Structure 1
Amino acid sequence: MSGMYKIFFATLSLTFLSLFLFIGCSSDPDEVSTESEDYQQAISDFYVSLGASETQEARFAFNKMNDVAQAFPQEPAAWANLGVYAMRQGNFELADDRFTEARNLAPDHPDILFLSGLFESRRGDVDRAVEFLREAHQADPNSVMIQYSLIEALERQDDVANADEILERIESLKNQHPENQAVLFEAARIGAKEQNAELLQSAIESLGEFTYLWDDEAVEQYRVVSEVIEDRDFSELNFELTFLRNAVEPSPAFQQNLREIKLEPNEVGFLMQRFITLPMPDFRAADPDLETTFAAGETAAPDRRATLVKSVTLLEELPPFSIFVADGELHIDDDNRLPFPGDTAEQLPPSALAEIDYNYNFRNDIALAGSSGFRLFEQNSDETFSDITGRLNLPSSVTEGSYRGVWPADVDLDGDLDLVLAPESGSPFALRNNTDGTFTEINLFDDVENVIDFRWADLDSDGAADALFLTRQGELVIYRNERGGVMTRVENLPSGNDFNAVAISDIDANGEFDVLAVRGMESIERVFYNRGTGEWQTDTLVDDIRISQSGNSDFAALFSADIDNNGSLDIIFSTGDETSVWLSDSERNFSKLDLSLPGNLYSIFDIDGNDRLDLLGLESDGSIYELMNSGPQNYSARSIRARASGLEGDQRINSFGIGGEMEIRTGLLYQKQLISSPIVHFGLGIHDEAEMLRIIWPNGSVQAEFAELGMGSTIFNEQILKGSCPWLFTHDGEEHHFITDILWRSPLGLRINAQETAGVIQTLDRVRIPGDQLNPVDGIYDIRITAELWETHFFDYVNLVAVDHPEGSEIFVDERFVFPAPDLSTRAVSSPNPVARVLKQNGDDVTDTVSKLDRNYIKPFRKTSYQGLVEEHYIEIDLGEEPPADRPLYLVASGWLRPTDSSINLALSQGDHEPPAGLRVEVSDGNGGWTELHENYGVPAGKTKTILLELDNVFEDAGDRRVRLHTTSEIYWDALMWAEKLPVDQITETELQATKMDLRYRGFSEWNRANEVSPKMPTYGEISSTNQRWRDLVGYHTRFGDVTELLSDIDDRYVIMNAGDEIVLEYEAIDEPAPGYTRSYIFVSDGWVKDGDYNTEASKTVTPLPYHGQTDYDYRSGSTLLDDPVYQKHRSDWVNYHTRFVTPESFRSALLFE
């Protein structure tokens, strides 16, 4: 624990000690007024704390829960949650005090006893854990999770002495929950272990009832297990049972069962989500405002007869407003009229017009699609528009086609917005934005035709947006996004060709987007993906819509928005004749407003800026109507804008986050909405403010904001790296320090362009550890490897090498990323010295900044719009006269690289963009010119890296020793120095003996950044969160505990690490260096890294598994663990080690409380 956190928790301990004085004289909880300011604040603080705990704001979460304990010290749930927070920080002393206090207040509460047992288990006191879990089970005999945890604790305590009790409890659990596959597998495992044939046979027979849910591999393995049982071969049974579970566990049904009996593997305890003593509020959303009315407002063109009207947000600093099509033109304002490509005599569908910031300048442009073609109009800086269709590099078959609609969507998930076009006949296609002013036609949806509507949203909760189409025949079609540009049509959707309109909404506030669909002009249904069964299902929301359709028979528009601001999403359906509104209550029951509203509703938005959503549409005669929303309840609302971080150095997401997701939490109120326009509207009911906001950006990164911490009306995307390899920390005798990132040369599936992925340069890695950064404590060197980004790591080998070298010398490894890989052997050099002068390309002298290694960096370039790619530039390094001319030299260059990622590489490959180039090295030729020494010398391999450039015999003139480093990579230099080469025989390398190699769950370090040119650096002693930070890769990871066997040799038997995991390494210290020598270290590792970027190959899953000698990272859609070559070769590792199955469930449901 860092000094800062020790002070933090010590201060809190004193605060809590003073609180004890008040607990005994606290008021009767029945006398607490739910209307009091203190109570209302406690509700707010309690749920803000729960929400903050799911983000990187661990300290803020602790403080808010502390506020609850101070205001109402008689509330046990607050004390228990404080105990969980302290436990997650590793402060077991404080956690013990908090759990003790919670038990004193509620000695028989099962959840508090359960948490106490989990805490004792985490700190290693299994006997106490069993005691508390027994008490918890006695308090709540029906809790399957408590009973299962007790069984696990009994096995850890003494599986032999406790065998009878374990058998009794697992049989009881099996009988109580015969429908739970996870329970049945555990019963079978224990039955096999104890050779209890009756329990084993019963469990296996019960599992047989679920084979209809399994794939063919699992069914075949079930047959194998049954045969082994029949043969009574208990020696093989454990293996075969585990192989069966490996085949079944990934299924949605099994995962649902598993969540019923145990916490997620990365959860450290759980938080109590309801008060025990204080009264609980019984509301989530407020009552619907059934007196809501709409009154006619003043329209922008009262005398015009339009065939389309729509709201747009053309400038980020301005509110939305309406534009319309009439007489062959799109009318933006009095000065801006654009020709519409097609017939405008008849009413046009809403999809004939779309706004899109295609060129990333934060001004929305306009796309039009009509009977005579497609047009794109670019918004100029003076707010006029220019037709740029002819510059898009599209064939006339595209620009002159006949279309039903056009929609923006990032179909390739590369950070820019593309367009989807639906012809009047035939299949829809996408226009891929090449981000260089051109588009390319791509066909992703060949087996659907005659599309009349389209939506783009994550419908199966796997992170990647899916495609929803409605055809003219009334068919719903969904394409599941498999990532990497692969779309697969869903086959098991609800049948029927009688759907009229669609919308996307988390209508039931369960954190998942549903399809709302009008069926047969009679009902409104919810079509949704059931993650528990893996099936698409439907239920009815409104069973009799009672709406006429005699006017424009083709017009049907469905919306979901919070019309009355009560905090619950409503349903709005419009035909050519009328519009109906169904308001939702806190239980998601729908009540139809008794209003007569005109049809042809095109847009719902806040017209007059009063935070109520108004209606914009066309009367039957084509006149434009604006209906202004009002209601006596006058509930609050909040409009939030999402925005990319800026014009330069980013472009990981589109300008306004279109396709992303927003979630808010205020007390018990939760809402989730799709970002489909620059402004997202949330009704808040009786609450004044959205206390917490979580945004999942279109590229998968996540960001949380809190009202109390200064949440603004516009949320700028925070620029953080999703992937950058595992991090290495060492203990210097006082605390752990970040050294660097490792395994940089072996990324799996990293995309270079649409067709190719980067090969693995080499799996072996060696990095330098400065001598003062690693010192023994009690004869032990302490090293940690943490996984903290959106990645899975495969560690096959690790080792520590002590390097003794003469005093006054240094050792380095050439820590470059280049192909072919550099020589990673240890180099001995003299102590590095500053060069004479360093100039930026513009002549600025930056010599002082790079004269020593001190984490002060130079930025010698101008950024482009892309992260990792900068304008071509060079720095000029003059060695000066000091370095000896007759001895071999190195240029020792230290700095850090901000890399691209798979999605950025994909975007760069599509247009007229060169990818980031490595260092091109030139040396002065003695005649005022330059000679190229290296065409591509590579780049620093990540954070805080040093590269070595040999300068032996490269200068023609000893009096002119200058070097230029050219690049377009985003490299920030810390130190540029020279050093003499020393003979290798002056150093002694000693491999140290590991005494401990353990894998455990830790959580995530606090990250800090000194300034804009510094990398974000982790502080090991401060844990910002222990909850699932990323949408983790799905699959088997290594169980926690000793992993020495997996890390001892390079043999394709490896540790599989997930985000939040940590490898703890301890090495036995050796004797001090000989007199005249000092010691540095080399950390050696071998393995691979795979990140979760949507365009990385197979980024959703841990499989396929890597192996040495692999020529390419081979991914075959539909492949399974059981047919993976590595699994087949080392199957026993999935019995003894890789038994922890990880899903992103906790990430998905982070803000969903009881």
Structure 2
Amino acid sequence: MNFDNAVDVVSIEPKRLKIHTRDEAAAAWTLAAEMELPEGLEQFVMADLFMVDSTRRPMTPTVSAARDEDAAAAAEAARRFDTYQSVIAFGPSGLRLIRVDLDEADAARLQDVTEASGIAGLSEVRAVLPIDIEHDGDLDLVTSSAEGIRVWSNRGNMSFDNISEFSVLPPADVSMATMVAVDWDRDVDLDIVASGPQADSLGVLENVRHGQFRWRPLGDEFTKFASASSLSLVDADSNVSWDLVAVGESGAALLQTSTPLPGTVKALAEKSFSEQAARRGMTVDFDNDSFTDFVTLGDDGLRVFRGRGSAGFVPFDGALPEPISPAAFDVADLDADGDLDLAVATGGGIQWLLNDGGNRNHWIDLRVRGIDPLSPSGRVNHFAIGSLVEVRSGLRYQPFVISQPTTHVGLGRVEQPDLVRVTLTNGIPQVVLQPQADQVVFEKMILKGSCPFAYTWIGERFEFFTDLLWAAPLGLQSAEGVLAPSRPWEYLLLPGDRLAAKDGEYVLQVTEELWEAGYFDQIELIAVDHPSDVAIYSNEKVGPPSIAEFQLHAVRQPRRSVSANDQAGRDWSAALAERDGRYAVAFDGRIRQGLTEPTYIELDLGQLDSPERITLFLTGWIQPGDTSLNIALSQDPRLEAARYPSIQTPDAEGNWRETVPFMGFPGGKPKTIAVDLSDVFTGDDYRLRIATTAEIYWDEAFFTVDEAAVETRTESLLLVSADLHYRGFSARLPRGPHEPER
């Protein structure tokens, strides 16, 4: 909770919420925060609902002031993993949403934000489930109460919308006691398996996407689960199909399934392993043997069952030092020795039962984090809740759904699993090959993308050149239900030194290594013959045909601006002097991936002698958004979509006004764009501002004035062959500060 990687304890006592942190050196517990709660709140769940929930970080765009670069970088690194989870307390009296910020003074560390959240009108709340139902990068909530199932969409501004009307839900009188988030039918979206006290209440809220669920009862094959009070997930037989462990009045049972095709789940076998009534169950691997064990809590106290894989569970006699009947329990590795300990809440407070010997087998703790909490991508919630973890060791397959910041994996005698694969909630898989056992594995979320890559033969090998089709994003939504414009052609400039002949032919590779599919109707290579003392640039940029039509720009006398400063007064003249990978970055932090505070870079072109034609050339790259990010932004009333670059110039009185509403922008990886400035200036004041809230990094800026026409000759080369084949995936190269992935 306080980012020291040690176990903390959050508990609800009668009418009291408490957070205790622990000093590992002194082995002492400290009450870090507490607050009074209304009567009737008996349970809670925790979730990072507000993405980066600390008062130190801006959630909306602000204009930055000058900063010390080293100090800013150090502060950014120090906050790499600090994001607080909120507490959602619930019970017979309703629901309260408690925001946590341990950086604040004592009295302000816990704040009740229920009223502002918009979640109201709930009574007899039996279950609350944090889940990214829209796959837009933030955690939403699904509640089960006397009012039935409710679906709450996270707007990104600490408030929620009730979007239940768009789903086909169970009848209002069906109240669920337990809900678990999982891609139940393996079709790459999160469903909800739920059950309640009523007969035949077991079913699946099938995610049909766009923030909508469809209720499907599971039927007669699941008789033992018809009125479960607690459901847990396991793949007992490692057949890549989720099994259920249910507890309730009739005891505990394992239901094994098969998933022959995505979207189809069939019941295989139902195996009871306890006749004792229980109200809660939890899967856990106490002995790290790679087989999931199970703990139940009922009127007869805690009971532990050892996992036997496809054979189910058997009583684990002697697991507990003595019979114990707590009000609640949880597990965590308190002493950081690699096995899971047991925390129990009794009338005497919180007690820990330490695991003795569970670490004789090997283990891994997996912690998935966002790329940078100070400026999150927003594609996946920060702790990757709901993501799928798969561990492969030879023929042994172990799947888990991430439900908390740390996922513990027992490995048995395996010292080095073959791989750990994390499939994030946006569908992107990330693989850690052959991690060492007995350690914590931190996995940072990497970027996904949608554009093809181009590789050119440079004489000895193929080398990455750039990405393509940025102007043709079929189906990209700029907001909910709003399609971005698409242009079906582009002309990319390929410098002569980036392509060499191979056996008398020029060979390029266009690859699909990322997220979406490209559709190609024509690929043409055009040779441009020009004088050797002239540099050639294309007119390519992301924008409508009116500003991006095919045109060659010949540059013989490039000019540099007299000055280049941003809105905070920082001088970027040196960074923009040449294309060298040193970028002008006018923003201090992004609000979401692709969205920053309002910025501008002001260029002074100096004294010009009544020019007729001025063309500005800018080299840079843009960090993209995508449909998920754009939809999430459109749900947050505080935020606007990124404003792409415009040109501002002074009027006759010296007041800045917008003269080019949209100048276009470089598509993806570093590219050079040309902007016509011939008609934007008034009088002899040749200053301009490039204003935007898009996340753009500029590498070079120069301009031309009344360049004389240059004779060029173009010739389309004959396409000799084109074939479609499997190529594989390129490894990412190390990247410098502010460089794009490559």
1:388 aligns with 2:124: no
1:315 aligns with 2:2: yes
Q: Any stretches of 5+ residues in structure 2 without a counterpart?
A: 21-30, 54-82
The residue number in structure 1 matching 2:197 is 472
Q: Following TM superposition, by how much is the alpha carbon of 1:779 offset from its aligned partner in structure 2, in angstroms?
A: 3.0
Letter paired with 1:697: L
1:463 aligns with 2:155: no
TM-score, with length taken from structure 1:
0.56
CA gap 1:839/1:323 in 2 versus in 1, 3 angstroms: closer
Q: Any stretches of 5+ residues in structure 1 without a counterpart?
A: 1-313, 550-554, 1018-1154
* Residue of 330, 339, 343 corresponding to 2:40: 343
The residue number in structure 2 matching 1:439 is 160
1:670-1069, aligned counterparts within 5 Å? Answer: 670-687=397-414, 692-706=419-433, 713=440, 715-720=442-447, 722-760=448-486, 762-819=487-544, 822-831=547-556, 832-881=558-607, 885-911=610-636, 912-925=638-651, 927-958=653-684, 960-980=685-705, 986-1017=711-742
The residue number in structure 1 matching 2:79 is none
Alpha-carbon deviations, 1:971-1021, whole Å to 9, x = none?
11121111246577833332221111211111112221431311112xxxx
Letter paired with 2:275: R
The residue number in structure 2 matching 1:569 is 292
The residue number in structure 1 matching 2:384 is 657
The residue number in structure 2 matching 1:506 is 235
CA gap 1:1016/1:623 in 2 versus in 1, 3 angstroms: closer
1:612 aligns with 2:335: no
Tell me how far apart the structure 1 counterparts of residues 265 and 3 of structure 2 sit (CA, whole Å). 38
Tell me how far apart the structure 2 counterparts of residues 999 and 687 of structure 1 sit (CA, whole Å). 40
Do the aligned residues in 2 keep the contact of 1:657 with 1:697 (CA within 8 Å)? Answer: yes
Root mean square deviation of aligned Cα: 3.0
Q: Following TM superposition, by how much is the alpha carbon of 1:404 offset from its aligned partner in structure 2, in angstroms?
A: 1.5
Tell me how far apart the structure 1 counterparts of residues 725 and 149 of structure 2 sit (CA, whole Å). 49
1:358 aligns with 2:358: no
Q: Following TM superposition, by how much is the alpha carbon of 1:529 offset from its aligned partner in structure 2, in angstroms?
A: 4.8
Q: Following TM superposition, by how much is the alpha carbon of 1:322 offset from its aligned partner in structure 2, in angstroms?
A: 3.5
Comparing 323-332 with 670-679, which one deviates more in the overlay? 323-332
CA gap 1:436/1:623 in 2 versus in 1, 3 angstroms: closer
CA gap 1:355/1:998 in 2 versus in 1, 3 angstroms: closer
CA gap 1:678/1:393 in 2 versus in 1, 3 angstroms: closer
Structure in which a larger fraction of residues adopt strand:
2
CA gap 1:1007/1:642 in 2 versus in 1, 3 angstroms: closer
Tell me how far apart the structure 1 counterparts of residues 32 and 680 of structure 2 sit (CA, whole Å). 65
1:526 aligns with 2:255: yes
Do the aligned residues in 2 keep the contact of 1:342 with 1:372 (CA within 8 Å)? Answer: yes
Residue-pair matches, total: 685
Q: Following TM superposition, by how much is the alpha carbon of 1:393 offset from its aligned partner in structure 2, in angstroms?
A: 4.5
The residue number in structure 2 matching 1:53 is none
CA gap 1:711/1:364 in 2 versus in 1, 3 angstroms: same
CA gap 1:318/1:999 in 2 versus in 1, 3 angstroms: closer
Tell me how far apart the structure 1 counterparts of residues 518 and 217 of structure 2 sit (CA, whole Å). 34
Q: Following TM superposition, by how much is the alpha carbon of 1:817 offset from its aligned partner in structure 2, in angstroms?
A: 1.8
Tell me how far apart the structure 2 counterparts of residues 445 and 616 of structure 1 sit (CA, whole Å). 39
The residue number in structure 1 matching 2:62 is none
Tell me how far apart the structure 1 counterparts of residues 359 and 562 of structure 2 sit (CA, whole Å). 73
The residue number in structure 2 matching 1:557 is 280
Do the aligned residues in 1 keep the contact of 2:363 with 2:438 (CA within 8 Å)? Answer: no
Alpha-carbon deviations, 1:383-440, whole Å to 9, x = none?
6533332552416425xx33123222222211122222211x2321133222222222
Relative CO higher for 1 or 2, CA cutoff 8 Å, sep ≥ 6?
1
Tell me how far apart the structure 2 counterparts of residues 613 and 789 of structure 1 sit (CA, whole Å). 37
Do the aligned residues in 1 keep the contact of 2:547 with 2:664 (CA within 8 Å)? Answer: no
Letter paired with 1:574: L
Letter paired with 1:738: F
SS in 2 for 1:996: coil
Tell me how far apart the structure 2 counterparts of residues 904 and 952 of structure 1 sit (CA, whole Å). 36
The residue number in structure 2 matching 1:627 is 353
Do the aligned residues in 1 keep the contact of 2:202 with 2:218 (CA within 8 Å)? Answer: no
The residue number in structure 2 matching 1:377 is 98
Tell me how far apart the structure 2 counterparts of residues 740 and 1004 of structure 1 sit (CA, whole Å). 15
SS in 2 for 1:905: helix
CA gap 1:763/1:821 in 2 versus in 1, 3 angstroms: farther
CA gap 1:771/1:710 in 2 versus in 1, 3 angstroms: farther
The residue number in structure 2 matching 1:329 is 16
Tell me how far apart the structure 2 counterparts of residues 992 and 435 of structure 1 sit (CA, whole Å). 51
* Rg larger in structure: 1
SS in 2 for 1:765: coil
Letter paired with 1:611: G
Q: Following TM superposition, by how much is the alpha carbon of 1:582 offset from its aligned partner in structure 2, in angstroms?
A: 2.4
CA gap 1:460/1:402 in 2 versus in 1, 3 angstroms: same
SS in 1 for 2:725: strand
The residue number in structure 2 matching 1:402 is 124
CA gap 1:668/1:317 in 2 versus in 1, 3 angstroms: farther
The residue number in structure 1 matching 2:214 is 488
The residue number in structure 2 matching 1:45 is none
Letter paired with 1:472: P
CA gap 1:632/1:894 in 2 versus in 1, 3 angstroms: closer
The residue number in structure 2 matching 1:63 is none
Q: Following TM superposition, by how much is the alpha carbon of 1:488 offset from its aligned partner in structure 2, in angstroms?
A: 2.9
The residue number in structure 1 matching 2:366 is 640
Percent identity reads 27
Tell me how far apart the structure 2 counterparts of residues 710 and 718 of structure 1 sit (CA, whole Å). 21
Letter paired with 2:690: L
The residue number in structure 2 matching 1:311 is none
* Residue of 110, 132, 143 corresponding to 1:421: 143
1:162-173, aligned counterparts within 5 Å? Answer: none
Do the aligned residues in 2 keep the contact of 1:500 with 1:521 (CA within 8 Å)? Answer: no
Tell me how far apart the structure 2 counterparts of residues 412 and 584 of structure 1 sit (CA, whole Å). 34
Q: Following TM superposition, by how much is the alpha carbon of 1:587 offset from its aligned partner in structure 2, in angstroms?
A: 6.0
Q: Following TM superposition, by how much is the alpha carbon of 1:692 offset from its aligned partner in structure 2, in angstroms?
A: 4.2
Letter paired with 1:866: R
Tell me how far apart the structure 1 counterparts of residues 690 and 654 of structure 2 sit (CA, whole Å). 17
Q: Following TM superposition, by how much is the alpha carbon of 1:602 offset from its aligned partner in structure 2, in angstroms?
A: 3.3
Do the aligned residues in 1 keep the contact of 2:238 with 2:396 (CA within 8 Å)? Answer: no
CA gap 1:982/1:728 in 2 versus in 1, 3 angstroms: farther
CA gap 1:569/1:319 in 2 versus in 1, 3 angstroms: same
Tell me how far apart the structure 1 counterparts of residues 310 and 218 of structure 2 sit (CA, whole Å). 29
Tell me how far apart the structure 2 counterparts of residues 786 and 642 of structure 1 sit (CA, whole Å). 28
Comparing 866-875 with 605-614, which one deviates more in the overlay? 605-614
SS in 2 for 1:693: strand
The residue number in structure 2 matching 1:125 is none
Q: Following TM superposition, by how much is the alpha carbon of 1:632 offset from its aligned partner in structure 2, in angstroms?
A: 8.1
SS in 2 for 1:822: helix
Q: Following TM superposition, by how much is the alpha carbon of 1:801 offset from its aligned partner in structure 2, in angstroms?
A: 1.8
* Residue of 450, 466, 490 corresponding to 2:175: 450
Structure in which a larger fraction of residues adopt helix:
1
Comparing 689-698 with 706-715, which one deviates more in the overlay? 706-715
CA gap 1:949/1:371 in 2 versus in 1, 3 angstroms: same
Letter paired with 1:933: T
Tell me how far apart the structure 1 counterparts of residues 262 and 462 of structure 2 sit (CA, whole Å). 45
SS in 1 for 2:721: strand
Q: Following TM superposition, by how much is the alpha carbon of 1:698 offset from its aligned partner in structure 2, in angstroms?
A: 2.5
SS in 2 for 1:392: helix
* Residue of 223, 242, 246 corresponding to 1:517: 246
Alpha-carbon deviations, 1:334-388, whole Å to 9, x = none?
56333334426xxx4x5x4434453423112211122223211111214653333
Do the aligned residues in 2 keep the contact of 1:316 with 1:678 (CA within 8 Å)? Answer: no
CA gap 1:781/1:690 in 2 versus in 1, 3 angstroms: closer
Tell me how far apart the structure 2 counterparts of residues 752 and 885 of structure 1 sit (CA, whole Å). 41
Tell me how far apart the structure 2 counterparts of residues 788 and 848 of structure 1 sit (CA, whole Å). 35
CA gap 1:544/1:566 in 2 versus in 1, 3 angstroms: closer
SS in 2 for 1:802: strand
